[in-house]
Chains A and B, each alone.
Chain A
Amino acid sequence: MAHPSQHGMQIGDDRAAARKGLPLRSVLLAVGVFYVAAALLNGVRIYEETARLPYGRWRTVWLAVAWPLDRLSAMTRLDRPRAWMERHLAQKELDQHAK
């Protein structure tokens, strides 16, 4: 078993000294792709959960933000993998989201 760290900063400092990682542009590209893909894969569920917020100004704002994600996610059918996993693997009861 690895010996516990004597100083918690060691790992980060060593990896920084060894210049581990990617250039900034690549990282921002990866993060951007992540956000877009995650939004498309989860857009429908994000909208459903937003619709459960208490009624009020914030719910209206968040629904306005989530609605395009919901539409895009459903149109591209990228919401289906998560729905399938929830239904068949996680055995969750899914809300019937009224379109």
Chain B
Amino acid sequence: MLFPTVSFALFFMLVLGLNWALIRRPALWAWFLLASSWFFYGWWDWRFLGLLAASTIVNHWGGVWLYRTRGARARHAWITGLIVFNLGLLGFFKYYGFFVQNAYLLASRLHIPCSLPLLDVILPIGLSFFTFHALSYVIDIYRGEMTPAKRMVGFGAYLAYFPHLVAGPIVRAGDILPQIERPPTRLEPIDIGRAACLILVGIFKKMVIANSLSARMADPVFAGGAAHSAPDTILGVYAYAVQIYCDFSAYSDIAIGLALLMGLRFPINFDAPYFSLSLQEFWRRWHISLSSWLRDYLYVPLGGSRCAPWKIYRNLILTFLLGGLWHGAAWTFVLWGALHGVYLALERILQPFVRTAAAFFGVRSGTGAGRRWPTWIAHGLARLWLFQVVCLAWIFFRAQTWDDATRLLGALTDWKGAVTLWTGINLSVLAIGFLSQFLDGQRIARVWDGLARLPPVVIGLIAAAVLTVILAFGPEGVAPFIYFQF
């Protein structure tokens, strides 16, 4: 069930009504959340409900026994077992084929026999996300940062909650479990202005912008067909950068909006990432839930930034290598992650020189030994540069194979070929998608509050009218969200 479809609309209409009918009975409400979420997941493929159930049972009871265990060695053994279980699930379903393929490749190069079974393993949708949810839960219990869920149904509802189940945000148990165990009352106001805006903006970003960018520019350039000139290739890459932002942030926005209507609060997942001045800042604005997860459960345990410089760089590169691998079982994803990790390390190394240069040109304080540059010029150049760096990495992220990526890089040298994609409508769609970042965070809080001041009937009519306009401009059918494949 994709979000912007009639079947989901009917499902949500039913779920919303029952949600508020049952919320006065928290125990029954939690079961309802679990049942509706499992129904949602089972709609995709009922065969994987067993996997979700197994993850729920093992992680809940593992967490309980971990919490009750006192000895350091025993606790360490418990958490190791739980991590191995969760990563084992992820590793088998997501990486078995990748592992076997590369083992065969290596074996053939070394002329040694390899007899690993070739299995056609289907990747269950949402596995990467709910595995990370489960890991954060058990690790937080191990660290003493939270207590286990009072009841397994509450944990199960947190793990499977349908708005975030298949493509995030990766919500922390500490943020959501208290809301499930002490649900909102029917007397508490519902932030409908924010919810409506998030859902409608999300549908617009996905159905109109992301789908248009994909069909008009990104897919033709990244497809392995006719060669494109450098200007067209650049535009195709830019289009993909904005497409993946619109696609993924749309899903997050809709998930947050739906949860708000049901009385639950999710964290934001994007905050105008392409306005960042540095890659470090980019990762505080892009897929915030993933980057903070990697920081708290991988980067910091490796030593984080509180160690020798060479270890910091190693930690950054390793974290992003694994972050890249999380996205998919392919070397192109690993390379994408490695590029980010290496650039982050370079940023740290060059930071003192950048500060010196900025001070010399009087960028920050307006004073200095050298010429004075307005801050907005320096920031503009920094944002432009950062966008190029991120786009270069997106080439590897989007390319299906290494050959596709190198073909695209090669195309960047062809400045004599025909330029066919730089049309008014393409540039307009790209610009609108890029500028939709202004809707992130709480930049349009006044719009949310203004909408909420209108009579409810008017709110409903406006929302229906806006949706109709979006559907009129959107394509036929709904393409899956990009992050479903992760």
Contacts and interface: CB of A to CB of B under 8 A. Distances in A.
A9 B169 CA distance: 11
A8 B460 contact: no
Contacts of A89: 472-473
B472 A82 contact: yes
Interface stretch (B154-162, B384-392, B463-471): B463-471
A27 B472 contact: no
B288 interface: yes
A90 interface: yes
Given A30-B463, A33-B461, A82 B468 contact: yes
A21 B452 contact: yes
Contacts of A30: 192, 196, 456-457, 459-460, 463
A41 B441 contact: no
Given A8-B288, A16-B191, A81-B468, A31 B267 contact: no
B190 A42 contact: no
A96 interface: no
A37 B442 contact: no
Interface string A1-32: 11011011101110110011111101111111
Contacts of A27: 190, 192, 261, 456
Find the residue from A9, A32, A82 having the highest chain B CB count within 10 A. A9
B272 interface: yes
Interface string A23-66: 11011111111111110011001100110000000000010011
A8 B194 contact: no
Contacts, number: 160
B13 A35 contact: yes
Given A8-B169, A12-B267, A89-B473, A22 B461 contact: no
Interface residues of A, number: 47
Nearest to A90: B473
Nearest to A29: B456
Contacts of B464: 33-34, 36-38, 41
Contacts of B452: 20-22
The 7 A-B residue pairs with the shortest CB-CB distance in the complex, in nearest-first order = A8-B267, A33-B460, A37-B464, A12-B265, A21-B189, A85-B472, A30-B456
Interface of B: 6-7, 9-10, 13, 16-17, 20, 169, 175, 186-194, 196, 256, 260-261, 265-269, 271-272, 275-276, 281, 284-285, 288-289, 292, 441-443, 445, 448-449, 452, 456-457, 459-461, 463-465, 467-469, 471-473, 476-477
Interface of A: 1-2, 4-5, 7-9, 11-13, 15-16, 19-24, 26-38, 41-42, 45-46, 49-50, 62, 65-66, 81-82, 85-86, 89-90, 92
18 contacts: A5-B268, A8-B289, A11-B268, A11-B442, A12-B265, A15-B194, A20-B193, A20-B194, A21-B189, A30-B457, A30-B460, A33-B456, A35-B13, A38-B463, A38-B467, A38-B468, A41-B465, A82-B471
